[in-house]
Chains A and B, each alone.
Chain A
């Protein structure tokens, strides 16, 4: 079983739809949770960051972390064609020992928002 599981999709939605992207994980030591967006032929860019449990909102994007269920989500409201990209979840535990901020990534979900 992988430490982080993410539905690879692909996911195709009409413009204006609410999109829900999800990851589950097995390592209870994870404390830092991130979502990255990767456009075609580009490097991933940090989209959202959350420490421990709770919600975080940034414009049309909301990140949720439920540590009791080991489940994180990214919601995109009023989705736009420019949101079409691969979305990667990533997480990390405390930087003790030799972890040095290593991240464990999900496989990525390919999202297409069509006009």
Chain B
């Protein structure tokens, strides 16, 4: 079974803090994705990566950065957390050339106070 794990299920941070969200997949997938999910807005793509050290902006990259130093690990960084970044963050991974479906992690509920 494919497994995508995220470092924390729940996280509470203060405004202005630097926040790291970690994601690890165990199926040697080339592609990895970070989304945020908010009520009424659905899933929105923040960043994705198609190879080690490669990254592309998604639909809402402002205020975020990412890092992919190893194939299995994809990190999302909030440089200076703000209250409007309170959300559910979901990581996903997929094969290139496969059926396009993505496997999701359990999510991290981030609250910025």
- Residues on A close to B: CB < 8 A? 8, 32, 34, 36, 41-46, 49, 51, 88, 90, 92, 95, 98, 100-103, 105-108
Contact = CB atoms under 8 A, between A and B. Distances in A.
B55 to A, nearest CB: 11
A41 B88 CA distance: 9
A73 B69 CA distance: 40
Contact of B106 (A36, A43, A90, A106): A43
Looking at chain A's contact residues, the main secondary structure is loop
B101 A8 contact: no
Interface of B: 4, 30-31, 33, 40-43, 45, 48, 50, 56, 58, 90, 92, 94-107, 109
B48 A102 contact: yes
Nearest to B29: A101
B106 A42 contact: yes
Contacts of A88: 42-43
4 closest A-B pairs by beta carbon, nearest first, are: A43-B104, A107-B42, A92-B100, A100-B50
A103 B100 contact: yes
Contact of A95 (B100, B103, B107): B100
A106 B97 contact: no
